[in-house]
Structure 1
């Protein structure tokens, strides 16, 4: 743990490319400018969450892969990534620095269900124990000193129906409390901790109220979540604000006392996706209530949500979904989206925790949460190509200036297809894929001028 802390401290000595943000009332805010921050994110777990192996490198421990992907995400316009499975015993200095320099924040899950280190939906009291909590603390310890660590999730969809709503909430809130207390004691700055919920309308708003309420209405209640997010796939295809039920979400969260955002979105029916919900998420219908969202997901896996394909040799082919999303971003004026000031009106206050907040029969309405367990009271070269097989040139991670955040349309690469071209058919008249037989050419990134971080010198993808 001491060695890990020393490595993290080394990473924190660099000048930050992104400003450190705070969760102020119901918004993310840049404390230097006073401007609100909207998350323009992508879920990032190359290989898929099911491919995570605690004995193998995690997604933020391989600099060559991080540099390759940061460059691609930077061109897309992303300013944040969400990572689900991390090994706190591995070193993340290089990848954290790469994404920081590219103007991207990291939203991190502390649980890892695949290796049995997570709060469970079934019998949560059996999974709330000292060694599990130590694992979550280790994730915080590994990432707390990186300036682009935006937030931690204490849980992901652990509450997903009435049955789990009856048993899980006190334990999920206890984990939130434990993480917040650890951050308060061991981090030099506050880092928000919150919950990523399933968009199951039967329990969604009861879950929200359970996490955002405070004992006696005091905002500094250590068990109260700092943020609340939801994984929502209710907008599919060419839908609308009302048809998708987004209007009901805005109505349900309009009095939130904490920032609310999509921790996953991007229904893949029909496919390929068109991401028409982007206009609403970053438009006047929603931005007063929501703080952006995270598209699911970066790499194409068996579930068919990918923005890119990764070949066995590490080469990348951009999918039509990538260009569709890029095209939707291009329709927006992100200088206005990110430049807005919080409303001058008084922010909503957290409701007092009381059984009256819970409206669904069977959902837990007892806000007495478990005590802390007694034990704790003591270099590579990989090509990137368009769907038609043409290879991108000049693709690089551009090191942004201090306090600069990545934004759609800011960074470009030679040869990247336009959103319109990217959405065109990927087959030739003979019915064969346009990129069939294409032989991508390696793209070399120039060395990043990272000062003390000599590990990036001469590095290329």
Structure 2
């Protein structure tokens, strides 16, 4: 069969975007189509707030350097569903790099103090999924990032679960491949164990996350697995029913960053239960978490399409020394063996008990009814019968026995829409669902 030059180019472009094996979540692990277990070695990638995946030349430069680092995944916090992302997605696919995409937009983020889940949000989330589902190097979608950041915000959890439910409905109604859908949580000791259990409890996988991810900055050099708090995180991940991984990590106190935690995450201590880590972040900014820079800082008042906040956000990426090479050295030593999918028989589906409310912050009592689209939140949550799973496994430490010390809080100026509004005040609602 003969093809015109234009048709051939279009086909080649589509093939480039689909050059990698797709990834699925099975039990608490990720697997490639070939059956090999996949571990995330990722970088948080958000050069500009609105969408870093529209400049194909910039993506090509960054992807090439990421490949030398050993990166196989990037996380992108916000995208514009109306833009063409093919060149960037091709560039990362050519470098063997998968993507994790946040579905929320700047005006559809679920706010923690006044949560809502309405048709506008559903449509916006679905538009992002529609725009990216065609790319085989999409590893997964996040329905939210650190929506619950302090104790009184836990009443937003049913809205997170409702967004998972409706994005899964959209995925199924369109006949899309089952790209995993999950959530990225803040590392809050009084909330973390309950939230991860809540998002995977109740026996109904149609509304449970396909993976759970954690933004944690507990391991600050120089420390150890036990002192850092990672030992507690590991205890809470044992027999978890879905993949769990770090969606942000890389404490920079006191600096330079040594990334010693990577040996624990990918080593014998944690690799049987954890699926890897994403390092925060690619670009150097005022918070000094960057692995690369596009040039020296400029005056905060400087203007230009590629200058924001006193830093250039495009150009030739230059490694930040010694952090870049320190991470490269750590990842070069990582060889998690994993397990072949053919040898893996998970029995972990919906095994977590729905947590009860606690005095120190978790306010959702059991398996509450989820809000329907457009249902107004008024505070008190009614419970529904909990489906009986095949087996029952409660949180390893229980809801109140968890303690950890976060030595360095998460970076303050992450590109996360909605958080400033969500943290402006703490509002509790104590009536009923309408």
Give the TM bin, normalised by the shorter chain. Answer: 0.7 to 0.9
Q: Distance between the aligned counterparts of 1:348 and 1:359, measured in 2?
A: 29
Write out aligned runs for 1:161-310 (5 A).
161-165=150-154, 167-214=155-202, 217-218=203-204, 221-310=205-294
Tell me if 1:156 matches 2:155: no
Q: What SS class does the counterpart of residue 177 from structure 2 fall into?
A: coil
Q: Which runs of 4+ in 1 moved over 6 A?
A: none
Q: Deviations over 1:155-203 (max 9, x none)?
A: 11101222001x2011111011111111112243111101100011110
Q: Distance between the aligned counterparts of 2:18 and 2:329, measured in 1?
A: 29
Does the 8 A contact of 1:121 with 1:164 survive in 2? yes
The alpha-carbon deviation at position 349 of structure 1 amounts to 3.1
In structure 2, the residue matched to 1:103 is 96
Listed as ranges, the gaps of 5+ residues in structure 1 are 1-7, 375-461
Q: Deviations over 1:118-140 (max 9, x none)?
A: 11112103xx2221221111100
Q: Distance between the aligned counterparts of 2:52 and 2:191, measured in 1?
A: 32
Does the 8 A contact of 1:28 with 1:38 survive in 2? yes
Root mean square deviation of aligned Cα = 2.3
In structure 1, the residue matched to 2:371 is 370
Q: Distance between the aligned counterparts of 1:124 and 1:10, measured in 2?
A: 44
Larger deviation, residues 354-363 vs 259-268: 354-363
Write out aligned runs for 1:54-453 (5 A).
58-112=51-105, 115-125=106-116, 128-165=117-154, 167-214=155-202, 217-218=203-204, 221-311=205-295, 312=312, 314-320=315-321, 321-332=323-334, 334=335, 337=336, 340-341=339-340, 344=344, 346-351=346-351, 354=354, 356=356, 362-365=362-365, 366-373=367-374
The alpha-carbon deviation at position 13 of structure 1 amounts to 4.4
The alpha-carbon deviation at position 341 of structure 1 amounts to 2.8
Q: What SS class does the counterpart of residue 164 from structure 2 fall into?
A: helix
Q: Distance between the aligned counterparts of 2:319 and 2:197, measured in 1?
A: 40
Does the 8 A contact of 1:145 with 1:187 survive in 2? no
Q: What SS class does the counterpart of residue 101 from structure 2 fall into?
A: strand
The alpha-carbon deviation at position 236 of structure 1 amounts to 0.2
Does the 8 A contact of 1:209 with 1:358 survive in 2? no
Q: What SS class does the counterpart of residue 276 from structure 2 fall into?
A: strand
In structure 1, the residue matched to 2:420 is none
Q: What SS class does the counterpart of residue 168 from structure 1 fall into?
A: helix
Report how many residues are paired: 347
The alpha-carbon deviation at position 240 of structure 1 amounts to 0.9
Distance 1:46 1:185, change over 3 A: same
Q: Distance between the aligned counterparts of 1:307 and 1:361, measured in 2?
A: 35
Does the 8 A contact of 1:11 with 1:146 survive in 2? no
Tell me if 1:16 matches 2:18: yes
Larger deviation, residues 77-86 vs 357-366: 357-366
Q: Distance between the aligned counterparts of 1:306 and 1:330, measured in 2?
A: 20
The alpha-carbon deviation at position 16 of structure 1 amounts to 3.3
Q: Distance between the aligned counterparts of 1:92 and 1:130, measured in 2?
A: 25
Does the 8 A contact of 2:70 with 2:332 survive in 1? no
In structure 1, the residue matched to 2:306 is none
Q: Distance between the aligned counterparts of 1:293 and 1:187, measured in 2?
A: 30
Distance 1:45 1:104, change over 3 A: same
TM-score in terms of structure 2 length: 0.75
Does the 8 A contact of 1:193 with 1:227 survive in 2? yes
Does the 8 A contact of 1:23 with 1:226 survive in 2? yes
Listed as ranges, the gaps of 5+ residues in structure 2 are 1-9, 296-311, 376-434
Q: Deviations over 1:253-299 (max 9, x none)?
A: 10200000000000010122111111111101100010001000000
Q: What SS class does the counterpart of residue 227 from structure 2 fall into?
A: coil
Distance 1:361 1:308, change over 3 A: closer
TM-score in terms of structure 1 length: 0.71
